[in-house]
Structure 1
Amino acid sequence: MYYDLTKEVIDLIKIYDAEKHSGTTDVYSFTQWMNEYFKQKGHPTLPEPDWGGKSDGRSPDSVINTSLVHLYRYAKLHAKDAISGTEFSTPDDFIYLISLASLGSMTKTALIKLNIHEKSAGIQIVNRLIHNGWAEQATTDADKRNRIISITDKGRRLLEESIPNIRQASNNVTEPLNETEKIDLIRLLLKLEDFHKLNSSGFVYN
């Protein structure tokens, strides 16, 4: 029943291998190549999305930047709702604690850079965590000026109590996407993040 389809896929794999288009053999890279291949052959593809101002020359870059800003604001609203009724003052409090809980102790500088904050704003957040007993700091033997920040048992308990609401807030932000779309979006977002990490060393933590 699927003989013709199987043969067609095998033929496509042979073409893909001959072109060595991407140098990789994972399914995602192959399907990306296949979409481009059919597009070049004149087969119908997914229609290009429409957006406000497109007919007047508004660029995809403009739309992406605006959408990212809007999504950040929506995510912030969901995060504020998630911490309503908890001891957290701001979403940044639990974001910093999650960083410490998942990645372990780290220097104050590393923690602030990880969360893409300016130095003054990041120090305020760290100090608030320490003041509330959710995190603690210690000096290293090698450099007394370098402070290592760690999550405390009290911080872990508070985080564990809040995790269900935080997870629900995260689900609300990505609600319309299926699992495949989420993975595709993660790939694109990580690509953007990796680029800016390499090219914005002097931009953050001023």
Structure 2
Amino acid sequence: MNFDLLKSVLELVRQFIQQNENKALYNNDLQGFIHWINDCHKNPSESENPWWVGKELGRSSESIINTLLIRIGRFAKMYSRSIGNSVFSSQDDFIYLISLRTRGAMSKMELIGHNVSEKSSGILIINRLIHNGWVEQTKSQEDKRKKYIQITEKGISVLEEHMQEIRKVSKLVVGNLTRSEQMLLITILSKLDKFHDSFYKMNLTTASLLDMVNKELN
């Protein structure tokens, strides 16, 4: 019997159990172990030169990235409909609540801009949250002309009540990505988000935004 091989396999099993214990990215069975092994020993060339639909016909990497981001966003939106048994009208409801819970009170336009919503739809979301008693509008102590939106105790309560469902959906959206893949994706998406956040803020009106996009394309 090859004891060295057996020891190596047992060490891999130990690593698999340890890494999968908290995150549970893989099933705790043979199939899950095999998937983990494959992810940990991928051929580097596969990630450096991936295949995508239409590549052989000249479809660019920019085109497929844009399509994939849109598709993943739509999957996330569909999954989010299951949260709260229709307590939330859309995923924007709890996304706005999470923004206020984590970042504190903001003006209407700050809240709308933070969530990259159009002004008209953002106002409708905020009004819906106010109507439900989940957020409230208050005046600044320093400047009474300024008004801020802040989450209420009722809003915190409804958010906490459904946070487990939100986490489950978030985990589903991440899918079968390994821990290292998740960290890499966070780095890449954060870089993209930073770029577009600055780009968007410099061109807040639709007209100027379109002008800037046309300049970038020419």
**TM norm structure 2:** 0.70
Q: Identify if the C-alpha distance between structure 1 residues 117 and 148 changes in structure 2 by more than 3 Å, giving closer, same or farther.
A: same
Is residue 133 from structure 1 mapped to residue 133 from structure 2 by the alignment? yes
Superposed CA RMSD: 1.6
* TM superposition shift of 1:188: 0.2
Residue 49 of structure 1, CA deviation = 1.0
DSSP 3-state at the match of 1:72: helix
1:107 shift after superposition: 1.1
Instruction: Give the Cα–Cα distance (whole angstroms) in 2 for the partners of residues 131 and 171 of structure 1.
Output: 30
1:46 aligned onto 2:45: yes
1:1-206 matches, cutoff 5 A: 45-47=44-46, 48-83=49-84, 85-204=85-204
Shift of the alpha carbon at 1:86?
4.2
Deviation for aligned residue 1:181: 0.5
Per the TM alignment, residue 136 of structure 1 is displaced from its structure 2 partner at its CA by 0.3
Q: Unpaired segments of 5 or more residues in structure 2?
A: 1-42, 207-218
Listed one character per residue, the Cα deviations across residues 24-43 of structure 1 (whole Å, up to 9, x for unaligned) are xxxxxxxxxxxxxxxxxxxx
1:141 is displaced (CA, Å) by 4.5
* CA shift for structure 1 position 138: 1.1
Question: For the Cα contact (< 8 Å) 1:118–1:205, is it kept in 2?
Answer: no
CA distance in 1, matches of 2:114, 2:179: 26
CA distance, structure 2, for counterparts of residue 139 and residue 49 of structure 1: 53
Aligned-partner Cα distance in 1 for 2:115–2:108: 11
Structure-2 change in CA distance of 1:203 and 1:182 (3 Å): same
Instruction: Letter of the 1:162 partner, please give it.
Output: H
Amino acid at match of 1:55: E
Give the unaligned 5+ runs of structure 1: 1-43
Residue correspondences, number: 162
CA distance, structure 1, for counterparts of residue 77 and residue 162 of structure 2: 16
1:33-65 Cα offsets, whole Å, 9 max, x none, are: xxxxxxxxxxx8423111111111100000000
Once the two structures are aligned, what percentage of the paired residues are identical? 44
More displaced, 91-100 or 144-153? 144-153
What is the CA-CA distance between 1:106 and the residue it aligns to?
1.2
Work out the CA distance in 1 between the residues paired with 2:120 and 2:205.
Answer: 8
Other-structure match for 2:212: none
- The alpha carbon displacement at 1:204 in A equals 4.6
Structure with more of its chain in helix, by fraction: 2
1:146, distance to aligned residue in structure 2 (A): 2.7
Amino acid of the residue matched to residue 131 of structure 1? H
User: Alpha-carbon deviations, 1:52-92, whole Å to 9, x = none?
Assistant: 11111100000000000000000101111223x14211110
Greater relative contact order, per chain length (Cα 8 Å cut-off, separation 6+): 1
Q: Judging changes above 3 Å, is the alpha-carbon distance between structure 1 residues 123 and 202 closer, same or farther for their aligned structure 2 residues?
A: farther
CA distance in 1, matches of 2:160, 2:142: 33
